[in-house]
Structure 1
């Protein structure tokens, strides 16, 4: 009969609980400070903004939603297993994957209780102060995955792009941010999901006190004509979610064409999926800012 050394078993137990193997880091989440194990091996990520930033840090998760929407994440489709949708994690697929960490946010955050029963779970929803929270998320993921230096590089690059875009926009006039959804149009101002374009860039609002709620203020073409923005910043929801887009056709009418924005060719059609689906992700923000920088830089002051 094989004999076991009690001292050996105690030593093994101590080793298994050593700081090296059990190292953790405390990070801020949408639900407060959370202690997370460092360098998790198997990670499932459902929030596209989180996936965007984690991907930018050079990390490839093991599980992702079945649709990723943004082109620059396409390489993950073949590298990770689909474990649900953007809104609904597949609990059976997650259990089979056996993740060490699950990251939710935004659209998937309502499933926190069900998912957290399977593995340690973070709710990394970004909402109130998109730029500050996005920077914090970069730092948090850097600490979790042990790539702090890379995280600081991304934060510095984001800060530089924000400053450069704000400088290019200075003195170029007011802007109205609108989202089209087929024939429907909504406007967004400070405090809204797209309001960071005003606050972070110090970009004057063409119309103040818009509803900051998720779906914005439903507006008419007459409203756009009356507000008469110097810049019209457009997000096409249909195109963002992979349906037939049509923002340019929706806005192609005499009322919109009579605005200063149209007359000066200052209507900016942003790449829709990054800002609508992945808002707050590092690559999303960099792409949106690059598009705005190009437009503002090419305009006369």
Structure 2
């Protein structure tokens, strides 16, 4: 009996030690820090942060696709992410103006921003670890994949992220197989309240040329900036471009304005181009191309928009 009791005591001690060790290991894992290098600095982030606040819509897409919980978002989100309109998610400021007071009270573990919030980086970083995950338009695809991998690493979703990235690369390559031998040239424009602005390689809408490989109708204009090159009727720009393909993004409908038929968004000059005459006007949804643009959902949609409308691909 004494031997049996001694055995039980020894077993109990061993189980207690194992339990204590597992608790310490779990605590250590919860306190593990990951260093994220981004365009605005270098930030140490706790592994698996619980209260994540996201202002970058592209990052919100990636969290959604990887099944990672989110605690707070901007006051408004695109319709295709409508579940985040729920009161379940804290609303902590506009896409251009984070609410510093509300964020301080909310005490998040991680804040994710992009270009529209970059000016608030310093005050945000004082509240919680803050990382910038906007895409680099001069190196779009690489920066997009890096951002997805940052999110995956923070939350232990590496395998799922790599699978989704591989699928997107396959879709992208189906389009570039078409564009590599296509000598037709495209002209990308943003419609804003009756006016038009052109964008080229390296710009915020350069995805069409830089990732998908569509040739540009014009390469000698300063249209690679964030603001693009605004043109007017009669200035000769459209006639000079004379595009075979016209890519049209409507900002108005993306920010609450009326959604109008494509013909109402084009000037007479644009309707005189080979693109319009040959039915090669590719309409691109503003909520994807203008509001968002750098996450797993929008990158997929961008590839699909061009591949289906321009080449009739079915993914």
TM-score w.r.t. structure 2 length? 0.85
1:193 corresponds to 2:186: no
Of residues 285, 294, 297 in structure 1, which corresponds to 2:311?
Answer: 297
- SS of aligned partner of 2:230: strand
What is the root-mean-square deviation in Å for CA atoms of aligned residues?
2.2
Deviation at 1:115, TM superposition (A): 1.3
Q: Deviations over 1:139-179 (max 9, x none)?
A: 11000111111111121122112111212334341100000
More helix as a share of residues: 2
Q: Deviations over 1:187-238 (max 9, x none)?
A: 0111111112101122110111332111100123442233110100011111
Structure 1 window deviating more from structure 2 (248-257 vs 264-273): it is 248-257
- SS of aligned partner of 2:216: coil
1:49 corresponds to 2:34: no
1:122 corresponds to 2:131: yes
Deviation at 1:123, TM superposition (A): 1.8
Of residues 125, 131, 145 in structure 2, which corresponds to 1:135?
Answer: 145
- SS of aligned partner of 1:40: coil
1:279 corresponds to 2:293: yes
Q: Do 2:30 and 2:47's aligned partners in 1 also have CA atoms closer than 8 Å?
A: no
The equivalent of 1:62 in structure 2 is 71
Q: Do 1:180 and 1:247's aligned partners in 2 also have CA atoms closer than 8 Å?
A: no
Q: Do 1:46 and 1:104's aligned partners in 2 also have CA atoms closer than 8 Å?
A: yes
TM-aligned CA distance change 1:72 to 1:240, over 3 Å: same
1:153 corresponds to 2:166: no
Deviation at 1:250, TM superposition (A): 4.6
Q: Distance in 1 between matches of 2:259 and 2:26?
A: 54
- SS of aligned partner of 1:74: helix
What are the residue-to-residue correspondences of 1:15-30 with 2, within 5 Å?
15=24, 19-30=28-39
The equivalent of 1:82 in structure 2 is 91
Deviation at 1:247, TM superposition (A): 7.2
Q: Distance in 2 between matches of 1:183 and 1:247?
A: 13
Q: Which runs of 5+ in 1 are unaligned?
A: 1-10
Greater gyration radius: 2
Of residues 202, 212, 231 in structure 1, which corresponds to 2:245?
Answer: 231
Q: Deviations over 1:26-84 (max 9, x none)?
A: 2231224432111001111111122122222112310000111x222111111311011
Q: Do 2:282 and 2:310's aligned partners in 1 also have CA atoms closer than 8 Å?
A: no
Q: Distance in 2 between matches of 1:282 and 1:16?
A: 33
Q: Do 2:43 and 2:129's aligned partners in 1 also have CA atoms closer than 8 Å?
A: no
Q: Do 2:44 and 2:129's aligned partners in 1 also have CA atoms closer than 8 Å?
A: no
Q: Which runs of 5+ in 2 are unaligned?
A: 1-19
The equivalent of 1:178 in structure 2 is 189
TM-aligned CA distance change 1:176 to 1:252, over 3 Å: closer
Q: Do 2:36 and 2:131's aligned partners in 1 also have CA atoms closer than 8 Å?
A: no
Q: Deviations over 1:14-37 (max 9, x none)?
A: 949963232122223122443211
Q: Distance in 1 between matches of 2:73 and 2:112?
A: 10
Structure 1 window deviating more from structure 2 (121-130 vs 269-278): it is 121-130
Q: Distance in 2 between matches of 1:147 and 1:179?
A: 36
Structure 1 window deviating more from structure 2 (29-38 vs 41-50): it is 29-38
TM-score w.r.t. structure 1 length? 0.88
TM-aligned CA distance change 1:203 to 1:99, over 3 Å: same
